[in-house]
Structure 1
């Protein structure tokens, strides 16, 4: 593979991008002949729309987004259903329901506004499940599509909404600013396939060398990030790439990120029990209603071969 292979990558902003930051900083993508350009997305709609258009080749996204748009249940529609496929896992993500300081219980969010990325994709259904398990109905709250986590957190910080779901580093940033965690997704859906890497199935099949190169570079960055001997260096990279993280909360962010239950998935594997959870939630809440059970429709593990893993 020559260094002429350019790859456009779009991911949600957040601490889970640390292995990518590391792979870029340490030259792991260059080592496999890839010139990777990373852009963070303002919303799932922008991300999927531009992935489908071909402006980006790979997306770091929620597994739920892959299912949603493949099934025609996404926030926007396409003339032809996108042939998206997840080829590698990224996170067992912990979603925290961050709320304003005055919110003490779920009853306090009745009639109040909660910010979401979009109402039909991403992690909205995790929130719906949390609300219902707390004894409320979805109709008890006003749900507002705002965009990706930075926008949602800012909307809560400014008082436009009283709560939202966050990932790291935004959870720790919110806590440091006096906001509260009402509950986390680990309490309600302890096994959940959060982040994945996805691409158009046809593009992936026509560019297997680039897919495998990306995987090898990412997995090298992941291995380096998870090595305890690199903790301080990894934290420095995260702080440099995400200046919104206050140094005083950096260790809390790293603790969540390095925990496989709440953060990065060792070896980039896909969790089939976690995939089941995603499909069950989407089967319950999405429209048009359908029962989703077929894993193979949404994933392609053929690129994930032992030789692609870092030594």
Structure 2
């Protein structure tokens, strides 16, 4: 029996592509969202059955949204850019989103407060990557393969979430109603565990090359990041209280 799911995500999910390859019964339509507010507007409107999103987005919702599984610990989430951060133009999804809150903490770790740079609202991570490459912002938060493109273009990470905000929860699978997506949730968690165990390396590399437009050396780095215990996939899908507390603490501190 096929499992049909409409999924809203920010960056094309390699985990999803591997899960679909392993289980052809998964009928999942992935739609890339332009921003966090747009993602949840579409979820509430019934356009999605589930979303891959920051847990902070769930914590900040006025309606009840359930976090079904932990997906990753940030996937290399870091502040990328060039030049002086103080006075720079810093691209964010929206100023009151989870990645923005983490960015404020990273900036403070570098001795720069949030009122010492200009915030530019740019939307999803792929959009911010393109803005950084085009020179439309000086710094932004990147992860999930987007940061590999930035590094290939000569940008560097000036501060990493895994070093400043550890333990961290980067992505969760969430839904208004968990029942219709229960089988899908199980497949995603099982696939994450198998990837961390090294069972599908070539499939992951091929999926990353196709979905994220990465050359093989970068796709191999992406695979290593998926397996990283500090930044990669959560193989059992458990949402640990300490990691969620980090996200909630950033919201309390900067919201």
Query: TM-score if structure 2 supplies the norm length?
Result: 0.94
Match of 1:131 in 2: 107
1:167-203 CA-partner distances (Å, limit 9, x unpaired): 0311121111111111111121111121101111xx3
SS of the counterpart of 2:154? Answer: coil
- CA shift, 1:226, in A, is 2.4
Determine if the alignment matches structure 1 residue 263 to structure 2 residue 244: no
Determine if the alignment matches structure 1 residue 66 to structure 2 residue 58: yes
Q: Among 74, 81, 85, which residue is 1:99 paired with? A: 81
- Partner Cα separation in structure 1 for residue 95 and residue 182 of structure 2: 34
Match of 2:4 in 1: 6
CA radius of gyration, larger in:
1
Match of 2:134 in 1: 158
Residues 231-242 of structure 1 aligned to structure 2 (within 5 Å): 231-242=201-212
Q: Which runs of 5+ in 2 are unaligned?
A: none
In the alignment of these two chains, the number of paired residues is 254
Q: Which runs of 5+ in 1 are unaligned?
A: 70-80, 287-311
- Partner Cα separation in structure 2 for residue 44 and residue 262 of structure 1: 21
Contact 2:98–2:251, Cα closer than 8 Å, also in 1: no
Contact 1:192–1:277, Cα closer than 8 Å, also in 2: yes
User: Root-mean-square deviation (CA), in Å?
Assistant: 1.6
- Partner Cα separation in structure 2 for residue 20 and residue 42 of structure 1: 19
Match of 1:294 in 2: none
Contact 1:260–1:266, Cα closer than 8 Å, also in 2: no
Query: TM-score if structure 1 supplies the norm length?
Result: 0.77
Contact 1:256–1:262, Cα closer than 8 Å, also in 2: yes
Q: Among 177, 182, 191, which residue is 2:153 paired with? A: 177
- Partner Cα separation in structure 2 for residue 190 and residue 130 of structure 1: 12
- Partner Cα separation in structure 2 for residue 35 and residue 150 of structure 1: 24
Match of 1:38 in 2: 30
1:274-303 CA-partner distances (Å, limit 9, x unpaired): 1111111111111xxxxxxxxxxxxxxxxx
Question: Taking structure 1 as reference, are residues 134 and 242 closer, same or farther at Cα in structure 2, changes over 3 Å only?
Answer: closer
Contact 1:173–1:246, Cα closer than 8 Å, also in 2: no
Residues 281-296 of structure 1 aligned to structure 2 (within 5 Å): 281-286=250-255
Contact 1:168–1:257, Cα closer than 8 Å, also in 2: no
Determine if the alignment matches structure 1 residue 246 to structure 2 residue 228: no
Residues 86-235 of structure 1 aligned to structure 2 (within 5 Å): 86-93=67-74, 94-100=76-82, 103=83, 108-200=84-176, 203-204=177-178, 208=179, 210-235=180-205
